[in-house]
């Protein structure tokens, strides 16, 4: 890792230098984001759900409320990434997120048809936001790991500590769809090979053979139901 260098003359619009003050960087210029969480989440909410809870409590004049939930970003990027989203309005995002027990770092997309520089920028933003919120602001952070096809492997695991806890999402595509399953399992194996996590948090279903195989290797798999899982379970019960 190389020490952070201040790039004078670059405006604080796109790469948010204040978020990476004092950070170390990988050879690919991805900031290192330490795991600052010391306990596993009691439950996990999406950022959209967290905002709804925040607004509800503020309307009740309960400005000091605290939730035991962690906040994740396993949702459509439009729910948290726009000019009014967490990156460009980080101060507003902080007002919301500081009322929760911790976060799983943002899940900016790495779609196959994205240009390489956009994918690199999204990985940069995942780690930078996590470093800022965890190391600089003093909150609990667990790293989300997002990969695309195998051509992303040379940079998508950068900035995440080894022998730690990581989080992944199985909502949307990933192993649920046969077309995505091979790519997902290839990336999961690469994650384990490179990062050696002792625990993997799964937001969504973990009822897949690949996770059972990891448990047999001694890796703890902790599954948290997604909003879709909970809605489907409710319909089944009826």
Domain residue spans of the chain: 28-232
- The pLDDT, as a whole number, for residue 178 is 64
145 Cβ contact partners less than 8 Å away, ≥ 6 residues apart: 156, 157, 160, 166, 167, 168, 191, 195
CA-nearest of 6, 2, 26, 3 to 15 is 6
- The pLDDT, as a whole number, for residue 15 is 75
CA distance 91 to 93: 5
Token pair in block for residue 214: 């990891």
Q: Tell me the average pLDDT of the chain.
A: 90
Average pLDDT over residues 99-123: 95
CA distance 196 to 199: 9
Average pLDDT over residues 2-23: 68
Has residue 10 got a pLDDT over 70?
no
Has residue 50 got a pLDDT over 50?
yes
pTM equals 0.90
Looking from the CA of 216 toward its CB, the CA atoms found within 13 Å total: 5
Cβ neighbours of 179 (radius 10 Å): 7
* CATH number for the domain running over 28-232: 3.20.20
Token pair in block for residue 104: 């799983």
Has residue 1 got a pLDDT over 60?
no
Per-residue DSSP letter, 82: S
- The pLDDT, as a whole number, for residue 226 is 87
Helices (H), 196-226: 209-216
pLDDT tens string 83-98: 899 999 999 999 999 9
Average pLDDT over residues 57-79: 96
Average pLDDT over residues 205-224: 96
Do 109 and 122 touch, CB atoms closer than 8 A? yes
Has residue 236 got a pLDDT over 60?
no
119 Cβ contact partners less than 8 Å away, ≥ 6 residues apart: 110, 148, 152, 155, 156
């Amino acid at each position: 890792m190389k020490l952070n260098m201040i790039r004078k003359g670059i405006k604080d619009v796109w790469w948010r230098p204040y978020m990476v003050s004092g950070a170390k960087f990988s050879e690919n210029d991805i900031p290192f984001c330490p795991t600052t969480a010391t306990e596993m989440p009691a439950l996990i909410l999406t950022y959209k759900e967290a905002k709804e809870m925040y607004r509800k409590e503020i309307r009740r004049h309960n400005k000091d409320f605290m939730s035991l939930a962690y906040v994740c970003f396993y949702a459509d990027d439009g729910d948290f990434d726009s000019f009014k989203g967490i990156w460009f309005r980080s101060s507003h995002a902080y007002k919301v997120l500081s009322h929760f027990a911790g976060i799983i770092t943002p899940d900016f997309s790495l779609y196959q048809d994205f240009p390489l520089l956009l994918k690199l920028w999204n990985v940069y933003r995942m780690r930078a936001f996590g470093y800022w919120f965890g190391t600089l602001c003093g909150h609990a952070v667990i790293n989300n790991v997002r990969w695309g096809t195998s051509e992303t492997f040379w940079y998508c695991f950068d900035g995440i500590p080894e022998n730690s806890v990581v989080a992944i999402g199985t909502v949307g595509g990933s192993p649920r769809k046969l077309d995505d399953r091979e790519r997902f399992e290839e990336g999961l194996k690469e994650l384990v090979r490179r990062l050696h996590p002792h625990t993997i948090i799964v937001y969504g279903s973990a009822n897949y053979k690949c996770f059972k195989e990891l448990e047999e290797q001694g890796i703890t798999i902790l599954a948290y139901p997604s909003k879709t899982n909970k809605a489907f379970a409710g319909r089944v019960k009826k």
